[in-house]
Structure 1
């Protein structure tokens, strides 16, 4: 029972982090685009929308268990991309807290890699067979 609870809490934390991130984007997409532009990326508004919908997909994967392991791996790649792009070594001299933000992304990566390898657990997981209408089950 403890393992099941730990897995569910971890999934909720992963989903919660990405839900918070996408919420901030949807609340002020222009501010997100400005932050992306400040990091030197082209098409910042487009990238902000892509990031928001990507984070929505990750949150749904963590909440439902659908494509859980691939989503955890993609989330890990995304998290390290964010660490390097927005909190990388070029920002440490101006603000030492940026180093802490950079390192925090690696601890998040560790959890995502662990989740990718060990899977979504056995409860609160959407399975395609459960989505069939009752008439299809009797055929």
Structure 2
């Protein structure tokens, strides 16, 4: 399974922590995030490439990180085939995948501890989409013929 990850300066430490964890679990990783500490950047510059990789099917899931998680999620969700969920606790990770079939999670670096962060990632990746009534709801998310 291939996972793409992107972050701005607030998420760089967590990005490297997640990458190390995922590599140890046998996942293939593509890093689209900021690579050096001490530089302040704009999150869309890193979230767009990360989202495009998931959008094009070149990765199974995406993980995006910014200070609040909101800007990253808003940017990712501009892409028609992206369902990025802002996740700040384990129960939200379960529901994002189980009910919404999220293909990206957006993590708020300023509001998560390291152990919470890795648990959220683990739970998200281990949870399966439930389908059923949730499938028809997800099919209603994209705008049809916007005018």
Scaled by the length of structure 1, the TM-score of the pair is 0.31
Q: Which one has the bigger strand percentage?
A: 2
Higher RCO, Cα 8 Å, sep 6+: 1
Q: Which one has the bigger helix percentage?
A: 1
Scaled by the length of structure 2, the TM-score of the pair is 0.30
